[in-house]
Amino acid sequence: MDLMYSLGQTKKTKKSKAKIKKTIEDLKDVKITESVESNIRKDQFSREKKEKAVRVQQKKDNTNIVITDTVESGIRGDQHSREKNEKAKRIQQKKDNTNIVVSETVESGIRGEQHSREKNEKAKRIQQKKDNTNIVVSETVEGDIRKAQNNQEKDWKEKGRIQKKENNNFDLARSLFGGGGAVGESSDEEEE
């Protein structure tokens, strides 16, 4: 039975192969002219081509445009001429101001008086400083008190220095437990 089964399978395989071969031979002569996808792609391509042609034509047409005056350009022209005239006036005013001769006024007279007063006061201050350098200071009660205070302060500082030196030589352990105060002093008992 196995043999019969395998022979049947071989027959089926041969039939299917024959069918495939026949279909391939029949389709060799078939020419595919159109499909849905090819029609869609043709439409897209023709649209892109037309759009490109329109852009190119628009660029060519834009080169021939002549720009005429508009309301905005007229207003801007007026603004520009006004700005130019104002600048010319400023420049001319600066030139004219260089030729002005200043005459005396009430303010200039007052300012002149103030200046002379300030000058005189400054001269007085300078002279006073010069005069103060020639003053001889004599001894006064305040000077004596200050000298006494200064001497007192010097003596106090000197006592503080001496006390620091004495404290450096002080040994707390010896003073508490063994009699001596200073480190340099040692008794005979301690040495034995």
| pLDDT digits 0-9 by tens, 33-45 | 778 888 899 999 9
- Report the alpha-carbon distance of residue 98 to residue 88 in Å, rounded: 16
For residue 5, is pLDDT > 80?
Answer: no
Q: Looking at residue 126, what is its pLDDT?
A: 93
Q: For position 180, what pLDDT does the model report?
A: 54
Does this model's pTM top 0.75? My answer is no
Angstrom distance (rounded) from CA 156 to CA 160: 6
Counting Cα atoms < 13 Å in the Cβ hemisphere of 98 gives: 5
Task: Report pLDDT digits (tens) over 150-163.
Answer: 999 999 999 999 98
Task: Report pLDDT for 19.
Answer: 93
Length of the chain: 192
Q: Return the higher-pLDDT residue of 3 and 87.
A: 87
- Look at residue 4 in the predicted model and tell me its pLDDT: 56
Determine which of 5-19, 31-45, 88-102 has the lowest per-residue pLDDT on average.
Answer: 5-19
DSSP state of 9: H
**Could you give the CA distance from residue 130 to residue 124 in angstroms, rounded to a whole number?**
10
pLDDT at residue 192 in the model:
43
Is pLDDT larger for residue 46 or for residue 62? Answer: 46
Kindly state the helix (H) or strand (E) to which residue 41 belongs, with its residue range: helix 36-62
For the chain, give the mean pLDDT. 83
Q: Is 37 exposed, middle or buried (0-12, 13-18, 19+ CB in 10 A)?
A: exposed
Structure tokens at 87: 């600048």
Q: Checking phi first, is residue 179 left (phi over 0); if not, alpha (psi -120 to 50) or beta?
A: left
The backbone torsions φ and ψ at residue 87, rounded to the nearest 5 degrees and listed phi first, read -65, -40
Predicted pLDDT at 179:
60
131 or 48, higher pLDDT: 48
Average pLDDT estimate for 45-50: 96
As beta bridge partners, residue 170 has: 182
